[in-house]
Structure 1
Amino acid sequence: MTRVNLSKQHPAAYQAVLALNQEAEDAVARAGLDAKLAELVKIRVSQLNGCAFCLRMHTRDALDKGESTDRLAVVAAWWESQYFTEQERAALALAEDVTELPVPERHEWDTGALDDAQVSAVSWLAIVMNTWNRIAIRSGYPVAP
């Protein structure tokens, strides 16, 4: 498969995604969601999409924000662990819904742990992360030690 660096081929589109990313990050902050929760959402979306570049970047970002290695180790099976709060569990389930677009639609995340602004913020964050995963994967961003 031919790899084309999408950001270099169409820099204006890349800049638009950067602006959308900033809006999603701002929505997360305005909704009162923790920065570590945002990184967990980015990591889970990247796990589902198989994006090694974004996984490495957001795992490092999460560690820099004080996330524990134990929680990062189990985020792929968050529902089986007792590491995550009700709000984090709802956000991770919602991010999975946004990423997988299940049919019929499931609402496991709809427990009341997230208010409307937080549901919207997590949804936008997952949408943007899905976009970044696709850019990184299609561009063949290198992931080497």
Structure 2
Amino acid sequence: MQPRIDFYTASPDALKAMIALETAVSKLPLEKSLIELVKLRASQINGCAFCVDMHTADARKSGETERRLYAVSVWRETPFFTDRERAALAWTESLTRLSETHAPDADYELLSSQFSPSEQVDLSLAIATINSWNRLAVGFRKMPQA
């Protein structure tokens, strides 16, 4: 696959806004390990090779285990994730596949059993942000470094 355009240089002002949003997400009072799992799962669903590569590496640098990283795509079938992580991963899938799921009540109930209202919004913003990055990277074919 060939890269299409460098979206950073093609529209620097728009990307400044995205970077500012990403900076804000990085300062949210949620567990960094949880955010990396969410970013990885959304990127897997969206088929974003660049982001899967980046967030796997970032999670490993932050101490995440190989075993858990390998299991993110099958998190429902493993015992490796906490109830809070499971709620976040379910919500990630619901919002990432919004046209299919319409954010079902069961996923929202799971979310609200593990996250406060402000954490629910913060998590949803983190999910929306990675989905935006995925759309840019997939759409313009941003490639991971070999």
Structure 2 stretches of 5 or more lacking a match? none
**Mapped contact 1:6–1:138 kept (Cα < 8 A):** no
Aligned length: 141
- 1:109-142 CA-partner distances (Å, limit 9, x unpaired): 3220111121111110110001111111122222
Instruction: Say what the alpha-carbon RMSD is for the aligned residues.
Output: 1.6
Query: Which residue is equivalent to 2:130?
Result: 129
1:19-39 deviation line (CA, Å, top 9, x unaligned): 111122222x2xxx2111110
Aligned equivalents of 2:142, 2:125: Cα separation in 1: 23
1-structure distance, mates of 2:54, 2:93: 19
For residue 55 of structure 2, the aligned residue among 37, 55, 58 is 58
| One-letter identity of the residue aligned with 1:15 | K
Mean CA deviation greater in 42-51 or 131-140: 131-140
Q: Which sections of structure 1, spanning at least 5 residues, go unmatched?
A: none
The correspondence of residues 41-52 of structure 1 with structure 2, limited to 5 A, is: 41-52=38-49
1:85 aligns with 2:85: no
Residues 75-110 of structure 1: CA deviation (Å, up to 9, x unaligned): 001111110000000001111111110345413332
Identity among equivalent positions (%) equals 35
CA contact (8 A) 1:90 1:108 kept: no
Aligned residue identity for 1:118: E
Structure 2 residue 91 is the aligned partner of structure 1 residue 100? no
TM-score (norm 2): 0.89
After TM superposition, the runs of 4+ consecutive aligned structure 1 residues lying more than 3 A away are: 102-105
Distance in 2 between residues matched to 1:84 and 1:134, nearest whole Å: 27
Secondary structure, aligned partner of 2:104: coil
Is contact 1:41-1:91 (8 Å) kept? Answer: yes
The structure where helix makes up a greater share of residues is 2
SS of the residue 1:75 aligns to: helix
Amino acid of the structure 2 residue aligned with 1:95? T
Amino acid at match of 2:72: V
Q: Answer yes or no: is the 8 Å Cα contact 2:33–2:62 preserved in 1.
A: yes
Alignment correspondent of 1:34? 31
Query: Which deviates more, 41-50 or 2-11?
Result: 2-11
Contact 2:94 2:101 (C-alpha < 8 Å) held by counterparts? no
Paired position in structure 2 for 1:19: 20
